Amino acid sequence: MKTPVKLRVNGQAHEIFVEPRKTLADALRDDCGLTGTHLGCEHGVCGACTVLLDGDPVRACLMFAIQCQDMEIRTVEGLADGEELHPMQRAFWEKHGLQCGFCTPGFLMLAVGALERKPDMDEEELKEMLSSNLCRCTGYQNILAAVRAAQAEMQ
């Protein structure tokens, strides 16, 4: 049943051997050792597992690993440049955009992916974009503030 799958994650190749039904999220966590991608619902609503697939934010719980052969995957582990945090990570820290931190990797990848595609989103577009993921701690206020601050820096 298990099949070899080649995943390219944060610029590194991972040759893994998984069942075709294994989700991308589980493959990242169990087979690539990248546990920063979190599972909050496993039915595509909460967005905690958001990763970038060829630049697009996707739910890693709704993809099979085998569908992602030869695609460029980016996860939260690849955001910082060594010790230097990505502007989005820094902004979440400065603006207190996280409490328990469980949803944070998903929000970081969502916002980075969306702003790389469309850097000049206005307030309403940002809010609309952020409404695709769920956070239970912050009430979103500081997440929005962080994304706004990072947007300015990313441009």
Partner 1 sequence: MTLIGQSVRRLEDRPLLTGEGRYAGDINLPGQLHMRLVRSPVAHGRILDVDILEAVDLEGVVAVWTGADVSAIPPIDFRQEGLTDLYPYRQPILAQDVVRYVGEPVAVVFANDPYTAEDAAEAVFVDVDDLPLTLDATAAPGSFDGTHSTEAAVVRTTYGSVDESFTAADKIVSVEVTVGRHTGVPMETRGALATVEPSGSLVMYGAAKVPHYNRKAIAAMLGIDTDKVILREGHVGGGFGVRGELYPEDVLVCLAALRLRRSVKWIEDRKEHLVATNHSRDQHHRISAAVDPDGFITAIRDEFWVDQGAYIRTHAATVPNLTMAMLPGPYLFPSYETTGHIRLTNKTPAGTYRAPGRYEATFARERLLDAVAHELGESPIETRRRNFIPKDQMPFSRPIRALGTVIEYDSGDYAGILDRLLEHVDHDALAAELAHRRRGGEAVGLGIAFFVEKSGLGPYEGARIQVDTEGAVRVVTGAASVGQGVETTIAQICGDGLGIPHDRIAVVHGQTDAIDHGLGAFASRVTVMTGTATYLATQELEKKAKAVATHVLEVAPEDLRLVEGRVEVAGAPDRALTLGEIAARLEPLSASGMGLEPELAAESWFTTDHMTYPYGVHAAVVSVDKETGGVVIERFVVAYDVGRAVNPMLVEGQIVGGAAQGLGGALLEEFVYSQDGQPLATSFMDYLLPTATEMVAIDVLLLEDAPSPLNPLGVKGAGEGGTTAFGAAIAAAVDDALQKPRAIFRLPITPERLRQIIHGDYPEEGAAPCK
Select 138 or 151, whichever has its Cβ closest to partner 1. Answer: 138
- Which structure tokens are listed for 98? 């996280």
* 110 burial type by CB count under 10 A (0-12 exposed, 13-18 middle, 19+ buried): buried
3-state helix, strand, coil split of the chain in percent (to 5) is 40, 20, 45
Torsion of Cα atoms, 100 then 105 then 108 then 111, to 10°: -110
Select 70 or 138, whichever has its Cβ closest to partner 1. Answer: 138
Contacting positions for partner 1 (CB under 8 A): 19, 21-22, 26, 29, 34-43, 45-46, 48, 75-77, 79-80, 85, 89, 92-94, 96, 98-105, 108, 127-128, 130-144
Shortest distance, position 32 Cβ to partner 1, whole Å: 12
Shortest distance, position 135 Cβ to partner 1, whole Å: 7
Shortest distance, position 12 Cβ to partner 1, whole Å: 14
